[in-house]
């Protein structure tokens, strides 16, 4: 049975910059991706201190992880984005780059973007956690 995914923005809630307030999954299996970090295949941090380079690597890593379970960004039902910044402009830029990336459709679902003080690796500026409803 293929999971049916419905994305909803109730008319009485505020407009969003592309995500949906609610994502409903009717049936099927889910995959929960660990926080995708900006690491290359050898485990080396890509672009220390360079948010754009790190977003590009995180997007590529997330696409690879989704592909490994037969899913694509359109199957994502929940995303959580961590960016090391408390600057609204930086957070907005990160959102726009992610939504324009190879996994951009993942962010049309229920999404949360958080500015945080620190992530796991020195120089790391971004991490993305995804949950996907797997196709049959």
Question: What domains appear along the chain, each with residue ranges and CATH number?
Answer: 5-133 (3.30.1330.40)
pLDDT in tens, 7-22: 899 999 989 988 989 8
Whole-number mean pLDDT of the chain?
93
Token output for 43: 């485990």
**Strand ranges (E), the chain:** 5-8, 22-25, 30-36, 76-84, 110-116, 126-133
Q: Tell me, what's the pLDDT at 26?
A: 82
User: Residue 29 contacts by C-beta under 8 Å, 6 or more apart in sequence?
Assistant: 3, 133, 134
């Amino acid at each position: 049975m293929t999971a049916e995914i419905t994305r909803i923005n109730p008319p009485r809630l505020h407009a969003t910059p592309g995500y949906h307030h609610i994502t409903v999954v009717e049936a099927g299996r889910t995959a929960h991706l660990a926080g995708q970090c900006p690491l290359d295949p050898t485990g080396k941090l890509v672009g220390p201190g360079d948010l754009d380079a790190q977003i590009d690597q995180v997007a590529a890593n997330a696409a690879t992880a989704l592909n490994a379970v037969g899913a694509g960004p359109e199957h994502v039902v929940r995303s959580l984005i961590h960016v090391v910044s408390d600057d609204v402009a930086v957070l907005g830029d990160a959102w726009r780059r992610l939504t324009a990336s190879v996994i951009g459709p993942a962010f049309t679902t229920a999404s949360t973007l958080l500015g945080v003080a620190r992530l796991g690796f020195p120089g790391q500026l971004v991490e993305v956690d995804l949950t996907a409803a797997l196709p049959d």
